[in-house]
Amino acid sequence: MPQPHPKFERPSDPLVVQNQFRQQTYAPQAWPSFEEAKEKLPQPVLPEHESWVTLYWRAWELAWQNLRQPQPGSGFVANFIDAATEAFLFMGDSAFMSQFGLYGRRAFDFSGNLDNLYAKQHDDGFICRQIDLATGEDFFYPFDPNATGPNILAWVEWRTYRFTGDDARLAKVFPALVAYHRWCQANRTWPNGLYWATGHSSGLSNQPRVPNSSFHHRHWSWVDASMQASLNSLVLAQMASTLKEETLAGELEAEHTRLVALINQYLWNEGAHFYQDADADGRFSPIKSIAAYWGLLDPDLIPEKRLELIVQALRENWAFKLPHRVPSQSADSEGYNFETGHYWRGGVWPSSNFMVLRGLRKVGQHGLAHEIAVNHLLNVAKVYERTGSLWENYAPETAAPGDPAAENPVGIAGLSPIAILLEDVIGLSVDWPQRRVFWDRRLVCERPYGVENYPLGPEGKLSLTADASRLVLTTDLPFTLTLRDANQSMQTAVPSGTTEIDLE
């Protein structure tokens, strides 16, 4: 007599037991009005670019309109910012929104979106990429090919830690991040160790890089999924070392080394001088996708000669150097849409631009990063002047919204006028565990420019402005300043109080 199949049980990950977010309950917290919050936000000083400052404050105002409390019964544990596109908590949007949210953390905790994702982690480490805001229920079953991704949560948490120096948060998120990483390793890889995704799980939904792949992997190895896994293993190893988890650090470092070798062996197309998706027979995708630039964020991944080639594509007007930079696929790729970008077939996205700019700075291409950022912000400002709105994505060859594109999401649209303005146009960044501040000054202005009320660590503040001859800064915490421009770099210790530095 046939016996019934045993009930399928997914193995649990012991690290999930350490995930404190799953034991939390929501404690109602109010937040200040936007007018009250403005006093706690960084204040860009750009007397020759007032339109950028106007856009900056408009982005924050829109963000404040989208702040939410969890709905009763949803099981979410923190206040959050609504992506304002659909009634779901999205993994990719939440990851990127947290990065401009860093600058508003004194007024509102923008890490709440991520906290809510961790609270919904399954016993085996799985986290769904799309969760209903009303019910708190997953939109996908775990083994749906579209169920999760992109795997960038560890990267954004590591960036958050380097920015804030928040050791307590790093220790709290680490178990959830490792468990999720292990789930992806167990369920999103091929036997050779490379990773797969789908158009929707990668976030680049309609890009024709892999045939008919909006909802399926098509048995290809995906360049962004593999590079994100490599980056994830690297930053998780760094977290493990910081937290004295030496055994885990060793395991993650070994995985990182394996992935770097596999990506360079199987996903580098020598003929195209580019990293591209590959099928089981070793045939490469015909599309040069912005997805390949995730490799810039991993300092060990791209060999020097290949790095020169992949960066060069960002300087070529037949590839990625278009009137609005950077298109989501190159202009010489099949399916590129020059009129509107048709979503991910050339559309310019704040999230992918933010990723590219972080990668360029990681590999020392500060001048190119500034050039691209200024081009992007000028186009975003032109579209705002014409439409009165920020947009989810933009056309690559005209100053126009993409099509389709959500209007005023903020959302990921907040990256451009907030994070990209501060980090890549003004050029200010921080590594607070090292007590270091970096100012890459490349904006050409006759009048002094800079930032006031810039957050340092948990409670500190910094104001600094400079023209060609003199830098004036005021801080309540000492740090080491590295000042760069197109011609030179200097480093100086900055004490508390007001300091003036002669730049001539």
At 362-402, the pLDDT tens digits run 999 999 999 999 999 999 999 999 999 999 999 999 999 99
What is the reported pLDDT for 120?
98
Mean pLDDT in residue range 474-502: 94
Residue 4 has pLDDT above 70, yes or no: no
Q: Are 377 and 421 in contact (CB under 8 A)?
A: yes
User: How many degrees, rounded to 5, is the angle at CA 503 between CA 499 and CA 504?
Assistant: 140
Say yes or no to pLDDT of 2 above 80.
no
* pLDDT of amino acid 445: 92
Helix-helix angle 153-164:223-242, to 10 degrees: 40
* pLDDT tier for residue 409 given thresholds of 50, 70 and 90: confident
Indicate if the pLDDT at residue 482 is higher than 70: yes
Query: In which band, very low, low, confident or very high, does the pLDDT at 5 lie, cut at 50, 70 and 90?
Result: very low
* Mean residue pLDDT across the chain: 96
Q: Give the amino acid at 333.
A: S
- Measured CA distances, 300 to 117, 259, 297, 484 (Å): 29, 10, 9, 24
pLDDT tens digits for range 6-65:
445 667 888 999 999 999 999 999 999 999 999 999 999 999 999 999 999 999 999 999
What tens digit of pLDDT does each residue of 216-263 get?
A: 999 999 999 999 999 999 999 999 999 999 999 999 999 999 999 999
